[in-house]
């Protein structure tokens, strides 16, 4: 997994070998300083496959548009279609593969400031 900072956006790249979609069982985004979960999805039924997740400064849709061969249940936020990411807040992204009871790949970011992977996560920031 890599966290790639772009103008006003962060791309979470989960591709295998840089080009193949990857089976992702769970995604969680936490505002790190407060420990508040901002967005969380869990796979239901057949495990979905994705290439990347794009998160933008400001409003983001709670549903992933680029899911192939499966679907996700939105755990957070409940009952709304979007969530908001703000400048000056540090976010932790965690991504689990097929086995959601294992250790996730993770990285941190702040808009305008690519922070990089969490210690020991094995992910890379670019």
Task: Give the CATH number for residue 14.
Answer: 2.60.40
Pick the range with the lowest mean pLDDT from 10-19, 58-67, 82-91, 114-123: 114-123
Query: Is residue 121 included in any domain, yes or no?
Result: no
Query: Is residue 101 included in any domain, yes or no?
Result: yes
Query: Is residue 125 included in any domain, yes or no?
Result: no
Tokens of 74: 């939105």
Q: Which residues pair with 73 in a beta bridge?
A: 42
The boundaries of the domain holding residue 29 are 2-112
Query: Is residue 124 included in any domain, yes or no?
Result: no
Q: How many domains does the chain have?
A: 1
Burial of 90 (C-beta count, 10 Å sphere; 0-12/13-18/19+): middle
- Average pLDDT, stretch 87-107? 90
Query: Is residue 119 included in any domain, yes or no?
Result: no
Query: Is residue 117 included in any domain, yes or no?
Result: no
What CA–CA distance (Å, rounded) separates 94 from 40?
Answer: 9
Tokens of 84: 């908001």
Does the pLDDT value for residue 37 go beyond 60?
yes
What CA–CA distance (Å, rounded) separates 115 from 59?
Answer: 21
| Cis peptide bond upstream of 120, omega within 30 | no
- Average pLDDT, stretch 92-101? 88
Comparing 28 with 72, the larger pLDDT belongs to 28
Burial of 68 (C-beta count, 10 Å sphere; 0-12/13-18/19+): exposed
Query: Is residue 126 included in any domain, yes or no?
Result: no
pLDDT at residue number 82: 97
- pLDDT tens-place string over residues 8-34: 899 998 877 666 678 888 999 999 999
- Average pLDDT, stretch 27-48? 92
Tokens of 75: 């755990």
Query: Is residue 123 included in any domain, yes or no?
Result: no
């Amino acid at each position: 997994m890599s966290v790639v900072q772009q103008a006003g956006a962060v791309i979470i790249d989960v591709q295998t070998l840089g080009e193949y979609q990857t089976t992702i069982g769970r995604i969680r985004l936490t505002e790190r300083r407060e420990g508040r979960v901002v967005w969380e999805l869990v796979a239901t039924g057949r495990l979905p496959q994705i290439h990347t997740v794009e998160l933008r400064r400001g409003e983001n849709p709670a549903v992933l548009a680029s899911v192939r061969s499966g679907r996700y249940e939105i755990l957070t936020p409940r009952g709304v279609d979007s969530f908001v990411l703000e400048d000056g807040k540090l976010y932790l992204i965690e991504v689990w593969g097929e086995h959601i009871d294992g250790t996730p790949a993770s990285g941190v970011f702040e808009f305008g400031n690519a922070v990089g992977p969490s210690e020991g996560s094995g992910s890379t920031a670019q």
